[in-house]
Structures are given as structure tokens and as C-alpha cells.
Amino acid sequence: MDQNQKTESQDNFDLFKSRGFQKIDKAVNQSIAVVKEAKLGNRKVLPTSWKRLNRNLLGGLQQGKMYVIAGRPGVGKSAFSNQLIFDVLDTNATKPLIVLYWTFEMPGYQQVMRSASKDVRREIGQLLSIDTPLSDVDFRVYASKVQKYKKYPIYFNNIPRTMDYIMNTNKDIHESNPNHIVINILDHSRLIRGNEDTELRKLNTISKGCMMMQSEFGVVNILLSQLNRNIEQEHRAKNQYQPLLTDLFGGDSIGQDAHVVMILNRPYDLYGITSDYCGENPQGLLACHVEKNRDGLLGMIGYEADMSTFTIKER
């Protein structure tokens, strides 16, 4: 290559670089480094205790990504995400994690009661002495069991906040704890405050705010979201009310920006489905439909759910 060709090549390189482009050789080297780190067991991934979900998510939750957990009211979004995050903390106990639990729908103590309900095998109604007073023995068991939750790095914020407030909080916590992985649980999207003139514009603001936090601070965002009512239209009964990505409320923004969208359904409890549902017995089934996954696998994962004690296990 003569001098003129070298100069022209350098000028082209500088032009592309100034426009934010990266030549493919750098991407190739990065891919080799990522595969090597995985081979050595050094991937930065947060596995859950649910093996099938880990497989779909290529190992577990990953930094800089948004996971949307969606469903109709009462399907179990809060219970699912609650157990998910406690399991992630148990499975990754040696990693520096901080969980910001934006629990706008219910106060933190209710989230603790739900988690403890499965530990002590007592329904919430029993714990609250609805029919008969909780026995002294059961009370002592409950009080003893919940002590373990004090060690978890979870911080509840029960007051509905704006997206600016959430982003600024993440910025401050990231700067104060640069070596920690922050996980935001936003329960749920429609309860985040905003001044936008439509619900869809507010959801777009939320989605773009999550993307900014993921890019700038490497956080993990778990966003709980509602479905629209399309799933409950009469013609959907022919397909057992199985959810679609288009059922996601605000799907044009949240659905496009999310790395993973999981839509929950309880076909027997919500819709009275009695025949096999995606090859599973619908009774007691909490179906997790992975409807979008930029990196991993799609498909339905079946869970056995006892919602009286908020106990959820992979089938």
C-alpha cells in the first residue's frame, strides 16, 4: 500500500470513527473475549434458582438489560418477581448486589409477608388471624423465619415516583457504590408518576429512562407491566387465551426496548381452561410465556403455583 492509499484509508477510518462506527475487527476480538470469559466461568450473569428460566435467559439475569414481566391483574406478577428476586439474592449471595424495590402497589412489609408465607406454609389470611387467632407457636415460627430477610440488600420505596426521581436515585447510588450491581424492580409501570398527556407517552418515558440507566450504570431493570384487554376477546378463547406480545400495554415502546418480555398466565384460574395448555395440565399452572428474547430462547415455561402461600416452583 503506497502512502496515498494509507492516507486515504486513515481518513476513512477517522470519518467512520467520528460518526460512532466501530470496524468489525474490534467486534470480532470482543466476541472472542466474551466466549473465552464464558469458557472460564467468568460471565457476569445472575442465575436464578429456576433452571429452565436460566436456560432461556442464557444463564440468568444480565447487567444492562430490561426484563418485562407482564400479565392481567391478579395473575401473579408481584408474587413471581418477588420470589425471583429473593432467589437471585440467595443464588448470588457472594456478589455485591443492591436491590431497589419500587413497590408502588403494596408496602414492603406485605412483600415480606408474601415471601414468608411459603416458608411457614401459612396463608396470608391465617397470618392475619382472619378466622382464628394465629397460635403462639405459629407466631414464633413466623417471627423466627422472617429474620433471615434482614440480611438481604433490599431497599423498599413505597411512594410513587417520577422516572426522573428513579434515574437520579440510580445515578447517586451508582456513584456511591461503583462496584455493586443495582437491580431495579418497578412494580408496576402504570403507577410511576408522570406529567405526560397520555398513558402511552408516559410508558415511552419510562422505557427510555430504563434504557438510559442500563447504558450509563449497567443496572438490571425488572419492569412489571399490564396487558391490554385484547387477550380476553371472545375469538382468543379458541387459542386458550394464550398471550401475544401485542397484548402488552404500551407494547410499541416497552416491548421494543425490552431485552426480554415474559407474559404470565394462569389458564385454569383465570379462564377456566381444562384441556392441556401448551402440553401442560392447566390446574395449578402458572405459565410463563417468553414472548421476546433478544439473546436466548422463546417458549413457555410451566410453574406449579400455590397462590394461597405464594409458592412458585418450576414443573
Q: Specify the higher pLDDT residue, 157 or 43.
A: 157
Residues 61 and 8 in one domain: no
pLDDT at 194 exceeding the cut of 60: yes
CA 237 to chain centre: 28
77: domain CATH number is 3.40.50.300
Which distant-in-sequence residues (6+ apart) come within 8 Å of 112 by Cβ? 146, 149
Residue 7 pLDDT: 65
Which distant-in-sequence residues (6+ apart) come within 8 Å of 199 by Cβ? 190, 249, 250
Please tell me the pTM assigned to this model.
Answer: 0.88
Query: What is each CA distance from 166 to 128, 159, 174, 200, 287, in whole angstroms?
Result: 33, 11, 12, 19, 31
Residues 21 and 130 in one domain: no
Residues 81 and 4 in one domain: no
User: Domain range for residue 175?
Assistant: 46-314
Residue 41 pLDDT: 77
What is the phi/psi pair of residue 67, to 5°?
Answer: -115, 115
In percent, the amount of the chain with pLDDT more than 90 equals 71
Tell me the average pLDDT of the chain: 91
Residue 256 pLDDT: 86
Total domains in the fold of the chain? 2
